[in-house]
């Protein structure tokens, strides 16, 4: 890999560290901390949140009718999303063990915690659970697909890919036959190590 690419990867890692610092700053601003996996707000903040909760009748009155009418369509997606979650989990459990690829920790991607915010009413909490689950499953699937692609076909596309998965940046350039022949085994072996999952 070129020195320039290594330099870009190091800058990306520095930006990720900077992002973590900013997230920690937000925790201080909104006065909460994460203790043994649970989010804990300060007592007076929890009380303020309860006072700001919107009632369900008011929430429904203030909702656009089209939002209420399309909600069943949105929620109908839970069935294919749950099937995708189950199927991809079975896929990685079988195939990743055979290939020696480190398993993806589902809990690092499927994060459902917003329902604990006391300023949300029951409908808002349900919406947050659904969105957290659905987007978490898609991120989990994307990571499994990215590792699969690195194992079988770690070659960049000729055309620009919008928002590629994190493994893509390590792939061999399109048309680089020597790079592919020399690096494919290295790229596979990288998958044996447990990557840091945030």
Residues 6+ apart with CB under 8 A from 68: 60
Q: What is the pLDDT of residue 198?
A: 45
Q: Is 172 exposed, middle or buried (0-12, 13-18, 19+ CB in 10 A)?
A: buried
- Tell me how far apart the alpha carbons of residues 127 and 133 are, in angstroms, rounded to a whole number: 10
User: Residue 58 falls within a domain, yes or no?
Assistant: no
In a domain, 130, yes or no: yes
Report d(CA 198, CA 13) in Å as an integer. 13
Kindly state whether residue 78 falls inside one of the protein's structural domains. Answer: yes
- What is the rounded CA–CA span in Å between residue 160 and residue 2? 19
Helix (H, G, I), strand (E, B) or coil at 191: coil
Q: Is 123 among the domain residues?
A: yes
Task: Please report whether residue 8 resides in a domain.
Answer: no
Query: Using CB atoms within 10 A of its CB, is residue 167 exposed (0-12), middle (13-18) or buried (19+)?
Result: buried
Domain total for the chain? 1
Whether 106 maps to a domain, the answer reads: yes
Residue 102 inside a domain? The answer is yes
Burial of 32 (0-12, 13-18, 19+ CB in 10 A): middle
pTM: 0.82
Task: Tell me the average confidence (pLDDT) per consecutive run of 10 residues in the chain, 198 residues long.
Answer: 74 86 79 79 80 89 93 96 98 97 96 90 95 98 97 95 91 93 92 69
CA-closest candidate to residue 143, choices 163, 164, 165, 161: 165
* 148 domain residue, yes or no: yes
CA proximity to 154, closest of 145, 164, 167, 144:
167
Domain carrying residue 127? 70-190
pLDDT of residue 2: 65
Q: What is the pLDDT of residues 112-143, one digit of tens each?
A: 998 888 899 999 999 999 999 999 999 999 99
pLDDT score of 36: 78
Give the position of tokens 């044996």. Answer: 192
């Amino acid at each position: 890999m070129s020195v320039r690419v290594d330099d870009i990867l190091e800058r990306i890692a520095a930006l990720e560290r900077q992002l973590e610092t900013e997230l920690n700053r937000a925790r201080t601003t909104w006065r909460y901390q994460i203790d043994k996996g649970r989010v804990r707000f300060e007592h007076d903040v929890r009380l303020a949140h309860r006072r700001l909760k919107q009632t369900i009748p008011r929430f429904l009155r203030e909702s656009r009718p089209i939002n209420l009418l399309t909600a069943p369509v949105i929620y109908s997606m839970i069935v294919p999303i749950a099937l995708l979650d189950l199927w991809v989990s079975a896929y990685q459990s079988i195939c990743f063990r055979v290939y020696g690829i480190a398993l993806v920790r589902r809990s690092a991607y499927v994060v459902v915690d917003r329902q604990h915010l006391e300023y949300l009413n029951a409908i808002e909490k349900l919406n947050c659970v659904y969105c957290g689950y659905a987007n978490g499953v898609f991120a989990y699937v994307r990571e499994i697909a990215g590792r699969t692609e690195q194992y079988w076909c770690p070659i960049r596309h000729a055309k620009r890919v919008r928002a590629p998965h994190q493994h893509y940046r390590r792939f061999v350039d399109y048309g680089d036959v020597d790079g592919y022949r020399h690096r494919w085994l290295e790229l596979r072996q990288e998958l044996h190590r447990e990557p840091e999952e945030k």
